[in-house]
Amino acid sequence: MTGHGPPAARPGDGGGDPAGRFAGRVALVTGGARNIGLAIARRLAAEGAAVAVNGPDPAETEAAVASLRESGARALATPGDVSDAAQVDACVARTADAFGRLDVLVNNAAAPLAGRGPLLDLDPADWDRSFAVNARGVFLATVAAARAMATGSAIVNISSVGAARAHRAAVAYDASKGAVESMTRATALELAPWGIRVNAVAPGPVANDRFEALDAVRQRARIQPVPLGRMGDGSDVAAAVAFLASADAAFITGQVLTVDGGLSAQIRPPGLDASLDLPHALAGAPRPRPTHPHEGTTP
């Protein structure tokens, strides 16, 4: 985003084969060294992108990059704290210097466990840390990346179903994700004149290292409210991110795509009243024959 007007489009800004939608393009994924972030980095790399991986732990970030390179990807480690403006600027600059451009930013870094607990026990320091990483980090990375981007670029923020449907004992996290969704809409308007799109993905229950550490009973309890009957995984979120970052979503900006297996579509979770869970209550019962509104009448 240089000069006084929208920059010219560059090669690779069009569509094409989904297997190579990001050929010749460069992506930066914050919080990309594990879980959802690593799945996103792998998906973008599999579709042809050179990928810069950011994470707070240098050793973990380097390990993630090594795994991407083993699969044949062009990858770069850019460790740093996304809540620190100087570190974010350095991360973006290193990416652009190494690959010559920056086309896609995925703001995935988060502090999901900061401030988890009852409201009246919430430490203000945990509130501040949650917003520092989850909201300030998105702001800093968006500004730094937009200055290096050209027309046809895209930013995808990772929100949460908690932005619109509250978790219990997660006030700081949910509030910070609400800020991310508001920021998504506002920055989409700000960056539209430069041809830079901004959208968000709001994951629901997704299996990660914390889920895998639960026993089978607790895992089933997490799955039970999901209409599609399973936990999501990183690849589900990565597919949505890849779509929004690609030219297939060229006329979409300022939107939030929920990826939650139907969790937020329901008024109440299944199992509270079996008589209302129609697919179960009507199992084996004959279905009524549909009646046309004018059946039995004379035209």
Catalytic residues: 173
Q: Which residues contact 232 (CB under 8 A, 6 or more apart)?
A: 203, 204, 205, 206, 207, 259, 260, 261
Residue written as tokens 């501040």? 128
Sequence-ordered alpha helix ranges (H) in the chain: 35-46, 58-70, 85-99, 124-131, 137-148, 171-191, 209-212, 216-223, 234-245, 278-281
Q: How far is Cα 182 from Cα 108, in angstroms, rounded to an integer? A: 16
At position 190, the amino acid (one-letter code) is: E
Q: Which residues contact 224 (CB under 8 A, 6 or more apart)?
A: 269, 270, 271
H or E element, residue 29 = strand 26-29
Q: How far is Cα 136 from Cα 29, in angstroms, rounded to an integer? A: 16
